[in-house]
Amino acid sequence: MTREEALDSIKDNVENANLVKHMLATEAIMCSLARRLGEDEEEWGLTGLLHDIDMELTGGDMNSHSKLGADLARELGASEAMAHAIFCHNETHAVPLETKLDKALFCVDPLTGLIIAAALVRPDKKLAGVEAKSVRKRFKEKSFAAGVDRQQISLCSQLSVELDEFIELGLKAMQEIAPVLGL
Ligand SMILES: [Fe+2]
pLDDT score at 98: 96
Whether the model clears a pTM of 0.85, i.e. scores above it, the answer is: yes
Separation of CA 19 and ligand 1 centre (Å): 8
Separation of CA 89 and ligand 1 centre (Å): 8
Task: Centre a 10 Å sphere on the Cβ of residue 32 and count the other Cβ atoms it contains.
Answer: 20
- Helix (H) or strand (E) holding 43, with range, is helix 41-50
Give the mean pLDDT of the chain. Answer: 97
Is the pLDDT at 17 greater than 90, yes or no? yes
Is the pLDDT at 65 greater than 90, yes or no? yes
Is the pLDDT at 101 greater than 90, yes or no? yes
DSSP for 50-116? HTTTTTTTTTT-TTTTTHHHHHHHHHHT--HHHHHHHHHTSGGG-PPP-SHHHHHHHHHHHHHHHHH
Question: Which residues, in sequence order, are CB contacts of 53 under 8 Å at separation 6+?
Answer: 9, 10, 13, 14, 23, 69, 72, 73
From the list 152, 176, 133, the residue with the least C-alpha distance to 24 is 176
Separation of CA 128 and ligand 1 centre (Å): 22
Separation of CA 143 and ligand 1 centre (Å): 21
The string of pLDDT tens digits covering residues 131-174 is 999 999 999 999 999 999 999 999 999 999 999 999 999 999 99
Phi and psi based region of residue 116 (left: phi greater than 0; alpha: psi -120 to 50; beta: remaining): alpha
Amino acid at the residue 107: C
Separation of CA 20 and ligand 1 centre (Å): 10
pLDDT score at 119: 97
pLDDT score at 82: 98
pLDDT score at 99: 98
Separation of CA 26 and ligand 1 centre (Å): 7
Average pLDDT over residues 110-123: 97
Average pLDDT over residues 172-182: 97
From the list 112, 107, 114, the residue with the least C-alpha distance to 157 is 107
Contact 36, 161 (CB under 8 A): yes
Is the pLDDT at 60 greater than 90, yes or no? no
Proportion of the chain above pLDDT 90, given as a percent: 99
